[in-house]
Structure formats: structure tokens, C-alpha cells
Chain A
Amino acid sequence: MNLFADAFAWLFSPDRLTGSHPLPTAIAEHLFYTFVSVAIAAVVAVPLGYLVGHTRRGRDIAVALAGAGRAVPSFGLILLLVLVFGVLHKPAAAITAFVLLAIPSILAGAYTGIEAIDRAVIDAGRAVGMTQWQVFRKIEVPLSLPLVMAGIRSAVLQVVATVTLAAYVGLGGLGFYIIQGVPLRRFDQILGGAIAVVILALVLDGIFALLERVATPRGVTAGRRNPSEPHRATNKEVMEQIENYAVEQIN
């Protein structure tokens, strides 16, 4: 376990705050690339996923896209785009790769989020006179939020891991310490960098797990405790909402 002691010594050394690649800068770079890419991907994929879920069209394409996305080697995609965009546009090339890798899981979260809603709830909304838009805004969006957040959470994890690899093309971030350490045989640096990446990934995952919970409408426990009856609580909650809505309309 000597190596771990060395790694922590490296990680907490005052040298990490100075030099050409200080640790805080590397963390900031890593977070910057992750959030920018996931935000762009969400802006593209959430509306698209909602469109697929709401219209029930293009589902096969979305499923195929999610499957193909898993097969794309992320490391290869970054290097390919860096070559194609030109070395001068490395950040743009890398962010494009991250966005492309983040889109399938967010897309899947958005359309399954709407698909998982019991049809009876949507029909009930229509029955009390909700317009298409109201069904979407008052039923489908709130009920799909937990799964949308789950999709974003897994996209964040994937991008954090991929940003680490992007240090190979000189993008910075925490992967820099690992990649630079390999030819130098600096195992304290490799392990220290790895520990920093793991902590970052775990913290982000924890934050997004929390956001997922916050995004869950009160009373909705879809798939939480008993996966065999995911919709019961959902329906009850939304039926109440619809009743309230109907009461509002009558008043």
C-alpha cells in the first residue's frame, strides 16, 4: 500500500498548486468540458426525446441510436474528430465527440420517461379537457423528469470518463496526470491522478443522484422500491393533479 501513500502524498503536495498543470485548473478544465458537452447534448436530445415519446414516432431510430452509441469507441471518436477538425480546433473537436457520446443516453432517458407513463393517466388528462400542450406540460414533462435526469446522470458519467481519455490529445483535465505519467513511469502521479478522477466521478454521480431524487414529483416512486408495480403511485399522484385541474376548470 506504499504506492497509495505515495499517490496521496503527490495529490496533497503543495507542488500541485503551482507549475504548468496545477490540480485546481485540471479539475476546472475537466468540469468545464463535462458540463458544456452535457448541456449541449441535453439541449439537443431532450426535445428530440420528448418528440419521440410524445408522438410515439421514430422510436426504432432512437433505440437503434442508443445501441449504436454504446458500440462507438469513445477514444477513437475523439482522435478521429481531432484529425478531421484539424489540430488547431482540438477543443471544438473534443466537445463535439463528447456531445455525440452524451446524446444517446439523454435521448433514451427522455423518450422512455414519457413512454413509461401509464396511458390511462394521459387519457384521463384528455378526458378532463386538457389540450395536447397541457397534457405534455402538466403530465408528461413532470412525470418524465426522473428518467430524464437519470439519462443526464449516465451521460455525465460517460463524459467524465471520456474527458479523461481526451488528455491524450493534449486537452488537459485530470487525465493529463495519468497519460503524462505513463512514459515517465511516475506511478505516484498516475495513481494520484486516477484517485482525483475517481473522486470527481463519484461526487458528480452523487450530486446527480440527488438531483434525480429532487426531480421526482412528490408521491412518484416509479421503480424505486418495487419494480413490479412501478405505475401505481405515479397514477395516484397524477390522478390527484388531474382532479385538481378539473376542479380549477370548473371553478
Chain B
Amino acid sequence: MTWVANNLDLIASLTAAHLKQSALPIILGLLISIPLGWLAFRYRFTRGLILTTSGLLYTIPSLALFALLPPLLGISFLSVANLVIALTIYAVAIMVRSVADALASIDPSVRSAAAAMGYGSWRQFWAVELPLAGPVILAGLRVAAVSTISLATVGILIGVENLGYLFTNGLQRRIVPEVLAGVIAVMLIALIVDLLLAAIGRLLMPWVPGRRSGRRALQSHVVNP
């Protein structure tokens, strides 16, 4: 572990770069997947189209996607843009489905009630559907965030430096603690971001019961329907 102690600066700067490269795809992924998820939920035609496309995109191995994007988009193969766009595509592929499922899981009578109160579809979406779909969307966001952070390390293969640098550099110099430090750092960041998102979710959606009170609420609901 002396390697880690001697290279804290390197680890810190790589971590900062890693976070910067992962944050954009996670945020963009959420912003893109909400309207796409809504389209997938709302119309049967767009549902098949969007869910099939996102499913197919998700099956593309990361290294292959890095190679496919530059000729399609006219960007450089060895660039941060290539990594960020690829990660955004994966994040959208993960989240679109959870947004569509979240909207579909809303009790139709709630929608009818909102309509009866005179809510137009725009207001109904923001005031009723999105808050109710929030917890499921958040669950999708957390999965997407964790996998984005761990997948970003592959960026080192297209010359983008982040914590993945510790893997290739450690292998070339045969320093086990360096590679191990990289793996652990990535998992730690993923865990911290995951917990952070959960905490933000609790702040933004105080109406979502926590785990324990959730069970109680469920029981009282069952006892007293």
C-alpha cells in the first residue's frame, strides 16, 4: 500500500477527471431518457421503436461502440467526446426503460382524478405523473450512474485518462497495488455517488417512505384498504 501513499496526488487527479467524465453522461442520460421514456409509455408505436432500439444499443460492447461512433458522428476516435457520448447512450438505454415502467406503474385512477380536477396533460405530467414515477426513475438513475462510473474506465483504451489509467499503467509496470487501487477507487466512487443519489432522492421526494416505514405503510394499507 506504499504505492497508494506515494501516489495520492495522481489518484486524486484521476478521480477528479473520472467524476467529470461520468457526471455529464449521467445527467444527459436522465434529461434525454425522461422525454423518450414518456414517448415509450404514451404511444404503442414509439414504445416498440424506442425500447427495441435502446435494447439493441445496450447489447453493443463498449469497445465496439467507441469504434462505431467516430465515423457516424464525425468525431475523433481518441477523444473525451467519444467516451462521453458512448456512456450517455448506455445511460439512456438503461434509464428509458425505467422511466417508461415508472410511468406505466401509476394507478390509472390517479390520472383520471387529475384529469377530473382539470389538469391538462402538461400540468398533469409535472405535478402528478413525474412525482409519482420519481422513485422508480431514481432507481434506474442509480443503476445507470454506477455502471457509467465503472464503464468509464474503458476510456483509457481510447486514450482518455481517468482511473482506468491505473489499470493499464499498473499492468505495464507490474504493480499490483496500482491496479487494485484503481478497482477499489472506482467501486468506492460508484458507491458514494449511489448513496448520494439516494439521499438527494429522499430530499426531493419526501413522500416516498423509507424502507422500514414503507413496510409499515404497506401493512397498514393491507389491513385498512
Query: Closest B-chain residue to A3, C-beta based?
Result: B71
Stretch at the interface among A20-28, A76-84, A122-130, A237-245: A76-84
Q: Once the chains bind, are A76 and B179 in contact (CB under 8 Å)? A: yes
A169 near B: Cβ within 8 Å?
yes
Given known pairs A178-B67, A194-B68, the reply for A76 and B186 (CB within 8 Å) is yes
Q: Once the chains bind, are B101 and A227 in contact (CB under 8 Å)? A: yes
> How far, in angstroms, from A82 to B71 measured CA to CA in the complex?
33
Query: Closest B-chain residue to A199, C-beta based?
Result: B64
> How far, in angstroms, from A76 to B58 measured CA to CA in the complex?
21
> How far, in angstroms, from A72 to B190 measured CA to CA in the complex?
9
Give the shortest distance, in Å, between A84 (CB) and chain B (any CB). 6
Q: Once the chains bind, are A164 and B61 in contact (CB under 8 Å)? A: yes
Give the shortest distance, in Å, between A10 (CB) and chain B (any CB). 12
Given known pairs A79-B179, A164-B61, A194-B64, the reply for A72 and B154 (CB within 8 Å) is no
B208 near A: Cβ within 8 Å?
no
Give the shortest distance, in Å, between B129 (CB) and chain A (any CB). 16
> How far, in angstroms, from A182 to B76 measured CA to CA in the complex?
12
- A1, A80, A164, A205: the one contacting B63 at CB < 8 Å is A164
Q: Once the chains bind, are A72 and B183 in contact (CB under 8 Å)? A: yes
Give the shortest distance, in Å, between B214 (CB) and chain A (any CB). 15
Chain A residues with CB under 8 A of B59:
157, 201-202, 205
Give the shortest distance, in Å, between B217 (CB) and chain A (any CB). 20
Chain B residues with CB under 8 A of A251:
none
Q: Once the chains bind, are A4 and B71 in contact (CB under 8 Å)? A: yes
B interface: dominant SS:
helix
Given known pairs A71-B191, A228-B104, the reply for A76 and B183 (CB within 8 Å) is yes
A144 near B: Cβ within 8 Å?
no
B105 near A: Cβ within 8 Å?
yes
Q: Mark B141-154, 1 if CB is under 8 A from A, else 0.
A: 00100110111011
Q: Once the chains bind, are A73 and B179 in contact (CB under 8 Å)? A: no
Give the shortest distance, in Å, between B26 (CB) and chain A (any CB). 14
> How far, in angstroms, from A194 to B82 measured CA to CA in the complex?
15
Q: Once the chains bind, are A70 and B143 in contact (CB under 8 Å)? A: yes
> How far, in angstroms, from A228 to B102 measured CA to CA in the complex?
11
Most buried by A among B56, B71, B164, B187: B71
B24 near A: Cβ within 8 Å?
no
Give the shortest distance, in Å, between B153 (CB) and chain A (any CB). 4
Stretch at the interface among B9-17, B119-127, B170-178: B170-178
B25 near A: Cβ within 8 Å?
no
Q: Once the chains bind, are B154 and A75 in contact (CB under 8 Å)? A: yes
Give the shortest distance, in Å, between A225 (CB) and chain B (any CB). 12
Given known pairs A178-B67, A179-B157, A198-B61, the reply for A72 and B167 (CB within 8 Å) is no
Q: Once the chains bind, are A70 and B179 in contact (CB under 8 Å)? A: no
Q: Mark B28-71, 1 if CB is under 8 A from A, else 0.
A: 00000000000000000000000000001011111111111001
A interface: dominant SS:
helix
**Chain A contacts with B in 31-85, Cβ cutoff 8 A:** 67-68, 70-77, 79-80, 82-84
- B63, B105, B149, B183: the one contacting A197 at CB < 8 Å is B63
Q: Once the chains bind, are A187 and B61 in contact (CB under 8 Å)? A: no
Most buried by B among A76, A164, A205: A76
> How far, in angstroms, from A88 to B186 measured CA to CA in the complex?
27
Q: Once the chains bind, are B167 and A82 in contact (CB under 8 Å)? A: no
> How far, in angstroms, from A76 to B166 measured CA to CA in the complex?
8
A165 near B: Cβ within 8 Å?
yes
Chain B residues with CB under 8 A of A76:
153, 164, 166-167, 179, 182-183, 186
> How far, in angstroms, from A193 to B61 measured CA to CA in the complex?
11
Chain B residues with CB under 8 A of A75:
153-154, 156-157, 164, 167
| B residues with CB within 8 A of A | 56, 58-68, 71, 77-78, 101, 104-105, 143, 146-147, 149-151, 153-154, 156-158, 163-164, 166-168, 170-171, 174, 176, 179-180, 182-183, 186-187, 190-191, 194
Residue pairs across A and B with Cβ atoms less than 8 A apart, 9 shown, are A70-B150, A71-B150, A71-B186, A73-B151, A73-B182, A79-B167, A83-B171, A178-B67, A190-B67
